[in-house]
A = this chain, B = another copy of it.
Amino acid sequence: MENDNRPAKIRRSGYARPKVAVDTVLFAACGGRLVSYLVPIIRGPLAGKWAFPGGLVRTGEVLDDAARRELVAATGLADAYLEQLFTFGDPSRDPAAHVVSVAYMALARDPRAVAPKAGEYPPGQWFEVSALPPLAYDHGLMAEYALRRLKGKIEYTNIAYAMLPREFTFAELEELYGAILGRPVDRRNFRRRIMSMGLLARCAGERRGAHRPAALYKFKQQSLQAVEML
């Protein structure tokens, strides 16, 4: 019920309301490391810090669309996996105004594919998640939330599909899990556990190279699928 108990003077003033923004924590894997994309803040009291791409929600705009719009403006990645994470509303999170931010987590397959739209964002940069630079606002907290969500979800969903090419070797999957968890995975247990989740299918071909041929796998589903735990 959207009733409003505030004094009439404040209720009438549109300026007195909190603003609504979206911010997106984008992850990708690169050489066995989990990385996240940040844009520098150029002007104002937070100049010199870095932030996740984001901006104000427009009137009449769906939240997911706003997050997608800002992510595309900053990175050009139109088909990144995107899910709502948590809404941050501490009035002191932005020194300029009371801005409530609906945070998203996004996942990209290929960090090299970033191509920001000219003029909308300053060029950004990928950073290792374990070594992020000083972040503006409460974006450090957002990064923690997003990492926790991603670590949680790889245990019981196929979400890794959004960070891998369509066909991949088991070694590549293992490397991705290691990058997200921030530690090497136990090879034997990992294979048994992943296979028991029933999310993977064997592909017809194999990868040939310097080493012996490696079997190729794919996720059966290219959209989020959860495993029943009980």
What is the total number of residues of chain A having a CB less than 8 Å from a CB of chain B?
56
A21 within 8 Å of B by Cβ? yes
* Binary per-residue interface labels of chain A (1-33) against chain B in the complex, 1 for a CB within 8 Å, 0 otherwise: 111111000100111111111010000000000
B62 touches A90 (CB 8 A): yes
Instruction: Give CA–CA (A2, B136) in the complex, Å.
Output: 11
Q: With A14-B13, A61-B91, A87-B84 given, is the CB distance from A54 to B2 under 8 Å?
A: yes
Asked if B100 contacts A102 (CB within 8 A), the reply is: yes
Question: How many angstroms between the C-alpha atoms of A183 and B86 in the bound complex?
Answer: 31
Copies in the complex: 2
Residue on B with the closest CB to A14?
A: B14
Does A96 have its Cβ within 8 Å of any Cβ on chain B? yes
* Binding site secondary structure of chain A: loop
List the B side residues contacting A97 at CB < 8 Å. Answer: 2
Q: Are B2 and A53 in contact, CB atoms less than 8 angstroms apart?
A: no
Nearest residue, chain B, Cβ from A38: B1
Query: Is A229 in contact with chain B by the CB < 8 A criterion?
Result: yes
Cβ of A110 within 8 Å of any chain B Cβ, yes or no, is no
| Set B19, B102, B120: member contacting A89, Cβ < 8 A | B102
- Contacts A15-B14, A17-B19 given; does A6 touch B98 at CB 8 Å: no
